Amino acid sequence: MAASAATGVKMVAARPCISASQGMLTSRAMISRIETAARFASCPKIFCFRPLSSKRTGFVVRAISGESAPQGLPIDLRGKRAFIAGVADDNGYGWAIAKALAAAGAEILVGTWVPALNIFETSLRRGKFDESRKLPDGSLMDIVKVYPLDAVYDSPEDVPEDVKSNKRYAGSSNWTVKEVAESVKNDFGSIDILVHSLANGPEVTKPLLETSRRGYLAAISASSYSYVSLLQHFLPIMNPGGASISLTYIAAERAIPGYGGGMSSAKAALESDTRVLAFEAGRKGKIRVNTISAGPLGSRAAKAIGFIEKMIEYSYVNAPLQKELLADEVGNTAAFLVSPLASAITGSTVYVDNGLNTMGLAVDSPTITS
């Protein structure tokens, strides 16, 4: 990837390695000649020297950084375009992921739930999110375009009449998954990164035993099949070597009382689908597919569960890392997963929860503390 290579470590075509006896006298001159020929003053240089031994047994490789070389291993997404589905405010994981990708140089497109579109765009326009848009270099994240999106519906034919006539959808068009993918193709041609950051369970506060079939299937449709649909429709316009990620939760693997309405089943389906989609998208389009199992965050959407504050407190008390989980930490992990640095990672569930997933015992349990 050209953009990534521009800031990465360069393997410079150096002259043949000189002998140890000559090296003491000519190494400075040789380095000067190589640097002049290479013309990579802003990138680390790799040079070879023979070891101080009479036997010609191999090479010693040393990385010599120029004064203006960037420090560390950079995540470079310059020249990449990302579509993040499920951004409707500035305090969720979707927003944090968008910021991290923007900070790495990616162009940002977002899909916003139709009923929330007007408020979101108005807030952006009036500068309400300006403080949240600040990137590490002091600039503001630029959202190139906001698309209306309802990922519950694949195509216009799937939209029921009561939704079409709903005043919350008035004034918006082309918001089904198929139409949004076509709009992005018409506007930009292609994308490199697809992010699924949306979920909904209308009966999330109900125990599973009290969940209706309709509520259960609605949770599956909005929270897991929506990812299948998005990847199905966006894959044809994704550049080979691209990546896609979604967000899951530990309830996919562990019983979380109170996280009901079929949402735990939806997250389990999402993780299973991640593995299957990784194979299919990898073979069909050379696209990597991963999911991030994030710890609890007090976002506006999460408050629908009803006890998110208690979940956050439980995590803080019982996780191996006893600290607040920041949305930016999930965003940074997402940036890594969609970057060339993670080029061999696909089909994985990556935990970003301060290690809570590793615990089999609540250390604040009265049984333990007594």
Residue of 147, 249, 314, 351 marked active site: 249
Query: Going by C-beta distance under 8 Å and a sequence separation of 6 or more, which residues neighbour residue 162?
Result: none
Select from 117, 113, 181 the least CA-distant residue to 150.
113
Contact 192, 84 (CB under 8 A): no
Q: Name the burial class of residue 177, with classes exposed (0-12), middle (13-18) and buried (19+) by CB atoms within 10 angstroms of its CB.
A: buried
Pairing mode, strands 81-85 and 107-113: parallel
Beta bridge partners of 351: 293
Separation CA 219–CA 232 (nearest Å): 19
Dihedral sign for Cα 150, 140, 145, 100, please. negative
Burial call 311-340: b when 16+ CB within 10 Å, e when fewer:
bbebbbebbeeeeebebebbbbbbbebbbb
259 is catalytic: yes
**Which string of DSSP letters, residue by residue, matches 256-276?**
-TT-TTTHHHHHHHHHHHHHH
216 is catalytic: no
Q: Dig out the tokens for 231 from the structure.
A: 């990847």
Residue of 93, 225, 259, 316 marked active site: 259
Contact 270, 248 (CB under 8 A): yes
Query: For residue 205, what is the DSSP state?
Result: T
Q: Dig out the tokens for 326 from the structure.
A: 């920041």
Separation CA 182–CA 171 (nearest Å): 19
Separation CA 237–CA 177 (nearest Å): 13
Give the residue numbers annotated as catalytic, written as ranges.
249, 259
